[in-house]
Amino acid sequence: MKKNSIFYLVGSLASLIIIIMGLKLFAEILSPVLLSLFIVLVCSPFVEWMRSRKVPLWLARTIVVLGVVAIGLILVGFLAASITQLTEVLPSYRSLLENQFNTLEKWLNSQGIQAHDIFQLDFLSPQRLVQVVLEFLGGLLGTLGNIGVTLFVFIYMLIGSRSFSKKLARRLGENNLLLIRIEEFSKSISVYLAIKSFLGALTALGHILLLWVMGVNFAVLWGVISFLMNFIPNVGFVISLIPPVLMSLLQFGLGKSILVAVGYILINNFFDVAIAPRYLGKGLDLSILVTFLAVIFWTWVLGAIGAFLALPLTVMLKKLVLESYAETQLLAELLAVEEDD
């Protein structure tokens, strides 16, 4: 019995490694498909809401498809134009950034803090910071470059989702435990993503208004990035915070950039801490450490898209695989939030 358990464990680990390497190998093909599934899950509650209002299924799907296509094309067009413009002007800010760093270093020295060695670090050099921002924006634009394929797959998935569910029910039986778990997962993740999208849009709007009032350049671009980074847990907000703070530092100096950072944090905390728990409850029942590691892992496997899909993919693995078998239920419990949290 013990030998069988060891063989089972080794076989499971080998299968898992093969699946992960396969995902990484075909990441370029899988990324648009998984992103399309992500969009379908976000849109499903809206389709069901219209269905509950006696809107025909074909019309509800048509409205959602047209809305997603319009938003997708506008978003990509806006980001492409803004990022291209910013890429052209950003190198000219390098000298301004050097001046700001020199001013900050002198102020720290006047306070008795020897900061010269700190500012000599490569990752804090103005050239490196400008390069990092340019690479990030270029990567973001490249990620959105497959919008045509993503939208096509999304339309196909949305139209075929109901028939696929019926086929699965006929094959497995309506009371099948796996089918029940799939339906529960789909509903919970769809509602979560829809609410997260709405709150993310409100947060982004607040950021845009803050930056506009303070006169920071490219305010709408930073707001859109704030919305997109909202789907990346833990590190997403930090990533969205850096560009507007750097821009305000270049334009106005240290004092105003600190105000931008504080305003960003207050707006984000208002929606994340005060509002989100009322509607999201325990969220997706994953610990903070697990969500952080999930972002790193899925980004390594799938690239930039993996960061956006880290939570849905991890929850799917937890709900449909780990919780379904007695041998892996302990691991599922380890991934969950503590009762005291």
Max CA separation in the chain (angstroms): 75
pLDDT digits (tens, 9 = 90+) for 211-270: 999 999 889 989 998 998 888 877 888 888 988 988 888 788 778 889 999 999 999 888
pLDDT at position 263 is 93
Lowest mean pLDDT among 66-70, 72-76, 182-186, 278-282: 278-282
In the chain, domain spans: 28-281, 283-341
pLDDT at position 231 is 85
Mean of the per-residue pLDDT values of the chain: 76
Question: Which tokens sit at 18?
Answer: 């093969």
Kindly give, in sequence order, each residue whose CB lies less than 8 Å from that of residue 274, ignoring residues fewer than 6 positions away: none
d(CA 206, CA 213): 11
Dihedral over Cα of 106, 111, 113, 118: its sign: negative
pLDDT at position 117 is 58
pLDDT at position 327 is 65
Give the residue, 135 or 301, on which the prediction is more confident. 301
d(CA 34, CA 57): 24
Give the residue, 112 or 157, on which the prediction is more confident. 157
C-alpha distances in angstroms, 65 versus 31, 161, 232? 20, 13, 24
Question: Is residue 243 within 8 Å of 222, Cβ to Cβ?
Answer: yes
d(CA 107, CA 75): 41
140-169 b/e (C-beta count within 10 Å ≥ 16 → b): bbebbebbeebbebbbebbeebeeeeeebe
pLDDT at position 266 is 93
- pLDDT (average), residues 168-196: 71
d(CA 47, CA 64): 7
pTM for this entry: 0.74
Task: State the burial class of residue 16 (Cβ atoms within 10 Å of its Cβ: 0-12, 13-18, 19+).
Answer: exposed
pLDDT digits (tens, 9 = 90+) for 25-49: 887 788 788 888 888 877 877 888 8
Residue 189 pLDDT grade (very low, low, confident, very high; cuts 50, 70, 90): confident
97-135 b/e (C-beta count within 10 Å ≥ 16 → b): beebbeeebeeeeeeeeebeeeeeeeeebbeebbeebee
Give the residue, 204 or 174, on which the prediction is more confident. 204
Q: Quick one: what percent of the chain has pLDDT higher than 90?
A: 9
What type of residue is 293? L
Does the pLDDT of residue 341 top 50, yes or no? no
Question: Is residue 35 within 8 Å of 152, Cβ to Cβ?
Answer: no
Q: What does the chain come to in residues?
A: 341
pLDDT digits (tens, 9 = 90+) for 270-310: 887 777 766 665 556 677 778 888 888 888 888 778 888 88
Does the pLDDT of residue 1 top 50, yes or no? no
d(CA 170, CA 282): 33
Does the pLDDT of residue 205 top 90, yes or no? yes
